[in-house]
A and B are shown apart, each in its own frame.
Chain A
Amino acid sequence: MTDAAIAARWQFAFTIMFHYLFPILTMGLGVLIAVLKTIELRTGDALYGTAARFWARIFAITFAAGVVTGIPMEFQFGTNWARFSRYAGPVVGQTLFMEGVFAFFAESSLLGVFLFGESRIGPRAHWLSAVGVAFGAVLSGFFIVATNAWMQHPVGYSVVGDHVELNSLYALLTNPYVRWQYPHVICGALVTGAMVMAGIGAFYLLARRHEESGRLFVRVGVVSGVICSTISLFPTGAFHGENVTRFQPAKMATMEGLFKTQAGAPLAIIGMPDRERQELTDPIYVPGLLSYLAYGNASARVTGLSDIPDDLEPPLEIVYYAYHIMVGLGTIFIAVTGLAALLLWHGSLFARRGMLWVLMIAMPFPYIANEAGWVVAEVGRQPWTVYGLQRVADANSLNVTTGMTYFTLLGFMGLYLVLGILYLLLFARIVNQGPQSAATASERVHA
Chain B
Amino acid sequence: MNLNVAWFGVLAFTLAVYAVLDGFDLGLGTIHLLLGRTREERTRLIDSIGPVWNGNEVWLLAAGGSMVVAFPNLYAASFSGFYLALMLVLWLLLLRGLGIEFRHQIHHPMWEDAWDVVFAGASALLALLFGVAFGNVLHGVPFEAPGEFRGSFTVLLNPFSLVAGGLSVATLALHGACWAALKTDGPLQARARRFAAVLWIAAAVLLAVMIAASFAVRPEFTKNFRAQPLLLVLPLGALALLIVNRLAIARGHDRQAFMTSSGYIAAVLAAAAAGLYPMLLPAAPGSAAGGLDIYNAAAPAGSLRIALVIYLLGLAIVSVYLVNVYRVWRGKAVGVYR
> What A residues does B94 contact at CB under 8 A?
68-69, 71-72, 415, 419
Among B35-43, B79-87, B217-225, the one that faces the other chain is B79-87
Q: A86-B76, A400-B83 are in contact. Are A74 and B299 (CB under 8 A)?
A: no
- Say yes or no: is A358 at the interface (Cβ < 8 Å to chain B): no
Is A97's CB under 8 angstroms from B79's CB? no
Decide if the interface of chain B is mainly helix, strand, loop or mixed: helix
Q: Tell me if B9 counts as interface (CB < 8 A to partner A).
A: no
Q: In the complex where A71-B93, A74-B65, A112-B55 touch, is A90 in contact with B50 (Cβ < 8 A)?
A: no
Q: Does A376 contact B (CB under 8 A)?
A: no
How far apart sit A52 and B65, CA to CA, in the bound complex (Å)? 33
B148 at interface by CB-CB < 8 Å = yes
Q: Which residues of A contact B325 (CB under 8 A)?
A: 109, 112-113
The smallest beta-carbon distance between B208 and chain A, in angstroms, is 34
Decide: B90 and A101 in contact? CB cutoff 8 A. no
* Chain A, Cβ-Cβ closest to B72: A89
A96 touches B101 (CB 8 A): no
- Given A71-B61, A105-B55, check contact A82 B69 (CB 8 Å): no
Instruction: Give the tally of cross-chain contacts (CB within 8 A).
Output: 233
A69, A93, A100, A109: the one contacting B322 at CB < 8 Å is A109
The interface residues of chain A, by DSSP majority, are classed as helix
Indicate whether B216 reaches chain A with its CB closer than 8 angstroms: no
In angstroms, Cα B338 to Cα A74, docked, is 33
Whether, in the assembled complex, A439 has its beta carbon less than 8 Å from a beta carbon of chain B, the answer is no
**Distance in Å: Cβ of A171 to nearest Cβ of chain B:** 11
Contact in complex: B303, A78 (CB < 8 Å):
no
Per-residue 0/1 for A382-414: is the Cβ within 8 Å of any B Cβ (1 yes, 0 no)? 000000000000000111100010011001000
Report Cα–Cα, A415/B92, bound state, in Å.
10
Interface set, chain A 132-163, CB cutoff 8 A to B: 158, 160-161, 163
A356 to B144, CA, bound (A): 63
Partner of B336, one of A71, A77, A116: A116
Closest to A98 in B: B310
Residues facing A in B287-330 (CB within 8 A) are 299-304, 306-307, 310-311, 314-315, 317-318, 321-322, 324-325, 328-329
Total interface residues on B, using CB and 8 Å? 70
**CB of B215 within 8 Å of the partner chain:** no
Q: Mark A104-120, 1 if CB is under 8 A from B, else 0.
A: 11101111110111001
Name which residue of chain B comes closest to A161, CB basis. Answer: B300
Q: Are A116 and B337 in contact (CB under 8 A)?
A: yes
A42 in the interface (beta carbon within 8 A): no
Q: Is the CB of A90 within 8 A of B303?
A: yes
Asked if A191 lies at the interface with its beta carbon under 8 angstroms from chain B, I say no
Q: Does B237 sit at the interface, judged by CB under 8 A?
A: no
Contact A100 B61, CB 8 Å, known A69-B94, A121-B328, A166-B303: yes
Q: Mark A75-104, 1 if CB is under 8 A from B, else 0.
A: 101111011011111111110111111101
CB distance from B223 to the nearest CB of A (A): 29
User: Are B102 and A422 in contact, CB atoms less than 8 angstroms apart?
Assistant: yes
How many angstroms from the CA of A445 to the CA of B54 in the assembled complex?
Answer: 22
Max chain A C-beta neighbours (<10 A), residue from B80, B307, B310, B315: B80
- Contact of B137 with A by CB under 8 A: no
List 20 additional contacts besides A89-B299, A101-B65, A109-B51; criterion CB under 8 Å: A71-B94, A72-B94, A78-B67, A78-B79, A82-B80, A94-B69, A94-B303, A96-B65, A96-B69, A97-B62, A102-B317, A109-B325, A113-B328, A115-B51, A121-B328, A163-B300, A399-B83, A399-B148, A422-B98, A444-B338
Q: Identify the B interface with A (CB < 8 A).
A: 50-52, 54-55, 57-58, 60-62, 64-70, 72-73, 75-81, 83-84, 86-87, 90-91, 93-95, 97-98, 101-102, 105-106, 144, 147-150, 299-304, 306-307, 310-311, 314-315, 317-318, 321-322, 324-325, 328-329, 335-338
14 sampled A-B residue pairs with Cβ under 8 A:
A67-B57, A77-B75, A82-B79, A89-B69, A94-B307, A98-B310, A101-B65, A109-B321, A112-B52, A112-B325, A163-B300, A397-B76, A399-B81, A411-B87
